[in-house]
Every structure is written in structure tokens, then in C-alpha cells.
């Protein structure tokens, strides 16, 4: 049923809880998981700066990919650089370009304050997704 699962992570406790959910979904349908992180950067008059290093983002998705592989799940990993506040769009764009059947993500990310001000990434993904979205609390 879900052959291509996009697992959106950000390094938060909530995103760590969704890894077993994505593994379970993929195992039941003999599918593949794409572990994805939208690596945000801030833009200001003086230029732009990274909110997270590329190395840290790659390390996170690679670690999760290895955990999934150890659980017997076929997994790939990917990080994309995106402007701050555009993580939901990045997740949706990757889900569409990868022809994902489902997106799996946590109910909250690293910044609850930003979620209150900008609207939760999870909420945006739920509202705009072309495919099933599974949210783990």
C-alpha cells in the first residue's frame, strides 16, 4: 500500500519517535523509506547563515537510515537546504518529486515558539499534501 514513505525528521524528540512508525509502515508493505531533513538557513540584510550545519544534518539522516536498515527496512537519505520557515514546502516538494505514498512526521519539531508564530510545519504538510500524512505524537 505504501511503497514509498517519506520520513521527515529535524532532530527533535518528536521526530525521533516517528522512526519506528515509518519502519512499521514500510515493513508491512515491503516499501522503502526516504529519510529527509529540510536544512534551514536564515536570510537577512547582511546575507544568509546556516541554522544547522550540513554535516549535522547529514549525520542525522544517515544515522536514522542505518537504524532503519538494521530493522530490515530499505532506506535512503536526503537533506535539502531551504529558507527558514519553508520546511513544509521542502517536505511537500520532495514528497511530490519522489512520488511518495505517505509522509511520516512528528507532531512537533524543534521550535514550538516558531510553530506558534508561523504555523506548525506538520499542520501545513497535512493541509497541503497530495498523499497520506501520518503524524506520530
CA atoms of 47 and 59, how far apart (whole Å): 26
Domains with residue ranges and CATH for the chain: 4-136 (3.40.50.620)
Q: What's the pLDDT tens digit per position in 110-128?
A: 555 555 544 589 999 999 9
Q: Name the most confidently modeled range: 10-14, 48-52, 107-111.
A: 48-52
Q: What's the pLDDT tens digit per position in 33-52?
A: 999 999 999 998 888 999 99
Give which of 42, 26, 45 is closest to 34, Cα–Cα.
26
Contact 122, 25 (CB under 8 A): no
Give which of 57, 124, 113, 54 is closest to 90, Cα–Cα.
124
Predicted TM-score of the model (pTM): 0.90
pLDDT at position 99 over 90: yes
Amino acid at each position: 500500500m505504501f511503497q514509498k514513505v517519506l520520513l521527515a525528521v529535524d532532530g527533535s524528540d518528536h521526530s525521533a519517535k516517528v522512526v519506528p512508525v515509518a519502519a512499521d509502515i514500510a515493513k508491512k508493505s515491503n516499501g522503502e523509506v526516504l529519510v529527509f531533513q529540510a536544512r534551514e538557513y536564515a536570510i537577512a540584510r547582511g546575507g544568509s547563515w546556516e541554522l544547522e550545519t550540513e554535516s549535522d544534518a547529514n549525520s542525522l539522516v544517515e544515522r536514522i537510515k542505518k537504524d532503519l536498515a538494521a530493522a530490515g527496512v530499505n532506506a535512503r537519505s536526503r537533506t535539502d537546504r531551504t529558507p527558514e520557515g519553508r520546511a513544509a514546502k521542502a517536505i511537500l516538494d520532495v514528497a511530490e518529486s519522489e512520488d511518495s505514498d505517505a509522509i511520516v512526521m512528528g507532531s512537533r519539531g524543534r521550535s514550538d515558539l516558531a510553530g506558534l508564530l508561523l504555523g506548525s510545519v506538520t499542520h501545513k504538510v497535512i493541509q497541503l499534501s497530495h498523499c497520506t500524512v501520518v503524524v506520530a505524537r
